[in-house]
Structure 1
Amino acid sequence: MARMGLIQRGGKIRELVNRYRAMREDLRAGMREASSLDDRWDIYKKLQYLPRNSAPTRLHRRCLSTGRPRANYRDFGLSRHVLREMAHACLSPGLVRSSR
Structure 2
Amino acid sequence: MKHEKALRKLKTARGQIDAAIKMIEEERYCIDISKQLLATISLLKNAHSEILKKHIETCVKDATSSKDPEEINVKLEELEEVFDYLKKT
> Quick check: TM above 0.5?
no
Higher RCO, Cα 8 Å, sep 6+: 2
Q: Which has the larger radius of gyration?
A: 1
* TM-score w.r.t. length of structure 1: 0.37
Higher fraction of helix: 2
* TM-score w.r.t. length of structure 2: 0.39
